[in-house]
Amino acid sequence: MPAHAIAWSSLGAKRERLPPRWSEPVTRDWAWGGSTGRGVRVCFVDSGIEPDHPLVGAVDSAHVAVAGEADVVTVAADDQGDVSGHGTACAGIVRALAPDCTIHSMRVLGADLTGTGRALLAGLEWAVAQGFDVINLSLSTRRRQFADILREMADDAYFQRSLLVCSAHNAPVESFPWRFASVISVGSHDREGELEFDYNARPPVEFFARGVDVEVAWLGGATTVVSGNSFATPRIAAICALILAKHPGLTPFEVKTALYATASNVG
């Protein structure tokens, strides 16, 4: 591009004056004190969610990515619910911390917790297109051929103010989309505090939350004990829902700033 061709600038534009969002210290009380998540829509791109589980409650919408001929994946209404328990577990964690948010399901995983990259792409594309406030993605793909498309989706979500909260891989391998700077990436720690989370000054993982020996909702209205980054991720997603319910309209950058300021190991 020639030096004189400026594609993005504020030259000649009226200076935008922004409201003073941070007029007081960003404490946990300021960020989400008294919030229940009311008015915030949280979507789980996962294995589905068991409807009316005692620890989850109502599921406001449920869809599934269906593979057809020639690897074409379409999105349809899902009347099967959770096929493995994983999505129900994640939804129950969010419900416990943000009880008044609405919960939505996009099923992209099968009973053995495996799925295709194309199903993930179709499911995430659908979730981003719906404009959900928070999208919980407790899964990732190691297939690099999908990385560029996932990066574009993550950027689209970021620009429209949808928060992608993504689980880091449990093994030290490269996978996506948690490694992208436009998402909130989460690993796990073994402390017991429900709202104990740390900021990591050495990304790509940005935050650590409780994810070891966690009792979670499971299939058949039951519970089980699990460990993994998958179950730390919905804790951060729930905190994001609490923040957005109390401060509607915050950008992903501002929510990340609030998470940083209120992390257990900061300040």
Residue 56 forms part of a structural domain: yes
Residue 264 token pair: 């257990």
List CB contacts of 46: < 8 A, sequence separation 6 or more. 86, 87, 90, 105, 106, 107, 108, 109, 136, 137, 138, 139
How far apart, in whole angstroms, are the C-alpha atoms of residue 117 and residue 143?
Answer: 8
Q: With beta carbons less than 8 A apart as the criterion, state whether 254 and 212 touch.
A: no
Residue 104 forms part of a structural domain: yes
How far apart, in whole angstroms, are the C-alpha atoms of residue 149 and residue 120?
Answer: 11
Give the position of tokens 């589905």: 48
Q: How many domains does one find in the chain? A: 1
Residue 262 token pair: 């209120």
Residue 14 forms part of a structural domain: no
Assign residue 143 the CATH number of its domain: 3.40.50.200
- DSSP 8-state secondary structure symbol assigned to residue 141: B
How far apart, in whole angstroms, are the C-alpha atoms of residue 222 and residue 188?
Answer: 23
- DSSP 8-state secondary structure symbol assigned to residue 168: P
Residue 2 forms part of a structural domain: no
How far apart, in whole angstroms, are the C-alpha atoms of residue 259 and residue 243?
Answer: 9
Q: With beta carbons less than 8 A apart as the criterion, state whether 38 and 28 touch.
A: no
Residue 4 forms part of a structural domain: no
pLDDT at 1: 47
How far apart, in whole angstroms, are the C-alpha atoms of residue 237 and residue 260?
Answer: 14
CB atoms near residue 110 (< 10 Å): 14
Residue 198 forms part of a structural domain: yes
Using alpha carbons, list the distances in angstroms from residue 204 to 85, 207, 264. Answer: 28, 9, 19
Digits of tens for pLDDT over the chain (267 positions)?
A: 454 555 555 565 566 666 667 767 899 999 999 999 999 999 999 999 999 999 999 999 999 998 766 678 899 999 999 999 999 999 999 999 999 999 999 999 988 888 888 999 999 999 999 999 999 999 999 999 999 999 999 999 999 999 999 999 998 889 999 999 999 999 999 999 999 999 999 999 999 999 999 999 999 999 999 999 999 999 999 999 999 999 999 999 999 999 999 999 997
Q: With beta carbons less than 8 A apart as the criterion, state whether 260 and 236 touch.
A: no
Domain around 227? 34-262
Residue 5 forms part of a structural domain: no
Residue 1 forms part of a structural domain: no
